[in-house]
Amino acid sequence: MYLIPRNISKRFEFFPGWGWKELLILLAALGIGAILSFALGLIISSPLRFLLIVLLGGIGYVSAQPVMADGSTALQILSYIRRYQQSQKLYLYRKGGI
C-alpha cells in the first residue's frame, strides 16, 4: 500500500484538469468538423467552410471542460439528463380531489 498525497492526480494530465479524455473529445470534434467541411467543399468553394472545423473544435473543447461547481462537464450533464428522462417515474395522486 502506498500513500499518495492529495495534490497528485489519479490520471495523466497535460494541463490541470485536461488529460487524455479531453484530448480525444477535442480530436473527435475536430475530425467531425473536418469531414463536414470537406463534404461541404464538394458543394461550396468558399474558404469560410473551414470555419466549421474551428466551430466544432471549440464545441468539443468546451464540452469537456467542467461547467458546474462539482466538476461536471457538459457531456456528463447531458448523460445525466438522458438517464433521468429514461428512468421510470412514480406519480402519486389522491382519489377524490384535493
Task: Write out the DSSP string of the chain.
Answer: -----TTS-SS-EEETTEEHHHHHHHHHHHHHHHHHHHHHHTT---GGGGHHHHHHHHHHHHHTSB-STT--BHHHHHHHHHHHHHSPP-----TT--
- Give the model's pLDDT for residue 70: 83
- What pLDDT score was predicted for residue 32? 93
What pLDDT, on a 0 to 100 scale, did the predictor assign at position 80? 92
Averaged over successive runs of 10 residues, the pLDDT of the chain (98 residues) comes to 72 78 90 92 86 90 84 88 90 74
